[in-house]
Chain A
Amino acid sequence: NKNPASAASPHNLGEYLKQFASPQHECELHNFRLSFSQLHWDRWIIAPHRYSPQFCRGDCPRALGHRYGSPVHTMVQTLIYERLDPSVPRPSCVPAAYSPLSVLTIEPDGSIAYKEYEDMIATKCTCR
């Protein structure tokens, strides 16, 4: 209130605050489930019948804060994009953590294999 200019134009405050608000389509984890029959792999993948790899999509806020667990570099990259070189891409919404997947398959020689694979299901997203 001390600043007569802001008092005179309340919209400036709104504009100022907007840069800290979450984007409308915020970066978040989205469900995606596929079945191996869609890939015609169900003849040799016995289990699981369905696989939910999930995916990340959305905009990254300019001032990230702790919610995304993003490193400071992410804000620096936003700064580079906005002030120094627009050819440098803005930070992207990408998976930050995964969980493994167990798969039961028929091998070409007719033997049967149970295997656990790392990083097959996205469980969390981040901006970086």
Chain B
Amino acid sequence: RSRGRGDSEDAPGFLAAPEDAARQLSAVLQLPQGAGAAHALLPPLLRVLRDRGPRGWQSEEPRLQPDSRALRYMKRLYRMSATRDGIPKEQRGRLYNTVRLFTPCWECEHRPGKGDVHSVDLLFNLDRVTALEHLLKSVLLYSFDTSVPISSSITCICHLSLKEYDFSSQVCPGISHSLAFSLHFDVGKRKWVEMDVTSFLQPLIATNRRNVHMALNFTCLMGDPQRSTGLENAVNVTLVPPSLLLYLNDTSEQAYHRGSSLGPGRKSSSPLVAPPKGDRGQGNPRGKRASRQRR
């Protein structure tokens, strides 16, 4: 390979994509395969080290800008998961060392039919999830624009179905399996509503499927569903298409692996102990007290 400076014609692809650069450099630097892909910092680091000139790091590839709401959510998650110096907080039994938030790359909203049934088709592209990132939990994350008064409570009944393309028939996508659930929450207090769809998506992600096509139908009623069931209480809720949140355990060498701090023989009931939740404030008060007692 040419040892010249900057862009070298006869070393095409070095600047094509950081992962490619990492893969080619890793062949030279004997990095373990896949290290580049799993470590978002490695490719740019290698590129900076490779291009000694000041321009080396400026040729970053363009990145799509995320949704500002999603950015706000992830900044809060960061504050709850890491200290001001950026060091991961030790929360008892926390297993995830990676959280990825995806916004739909394609959505198709259907005109509301009879009543206020909203239906929307969403497509998520999960290419960024690497083979070494194992799914622990997946959540559909809603934020609401509602025209209802703040203090009331709303019940939404959602019907979620996964669509799979049946390539042999080349006709319409078939529905592989579906899920129905109801969400009851007070609009006033929450900015975000999380819907756990782990068991729903687990088989898909475990088989390395990277395109997830969902159809969502939902109706939202004002007040408590126990007392009134008719649609006369249907409320016009504009649902912002949800984002998809994946809590993952990255088993690559570069990822931080915290031992199970619960000690041998004791297991937490869920793979994620109290992951950061919406507006529940900073961290886990019980955790604070325990650490204070320890101190």
B85 touches A48 (CB 8 A): yes
Total A-B Cβ pairs within 8 A: 118
A99 to chain B, nearest CB (A): 6
Within 8 Å CB of A117, what residues of B?
A: 39, 41, 254-256
Minimal Cβ-Cβ distance residue in A for B48: A39
Minimal Cβ-Cβ distance residue in B for A100: B256
Interface residues on A, range: 20 to 34
| Contact of A72 with B by CB under 8 A | no
| Contact of B29 with A by CB under 8 A | no
Q: Which of B66-74, B189-197, B221-229 contacts A (4 or more CB under 8 A)?
A: B66-74
A22 to chain B, nearest CB (A): 29
Q: Which of B4-12, B93-101, B108-116 contacts A (4 or more CB under 8 A)?
A: B93-101
A110 touches B57 (CB 8 A): no
| Contact of B172 with A by CB under 8 A | no
CB contact list, A4-58 vs B, under 8 A: 39-41, 43-44, 46-48, 50-52
B23 to chain A, nearest CB (A): 15
Minimal Cβ-Cβ distance residue in A for B45: A39
Q: B: which residues have CB within 8 A of A?
A: 17, 39-41, 44, 48, 57-58, 60-66, 70-71, 74-75, 77-78, 81-82, 84-88, 97-103, 105, 125, 127-128, 250, 253-257
Closest 4 CB pairs of A and B: A110-B64, A48-B86, A102-B82, A100-B256
Q: A: which residues have CB within 8 A of B?
A: 39-41, 43-44, 46-48, 50-52, 99-118, 121
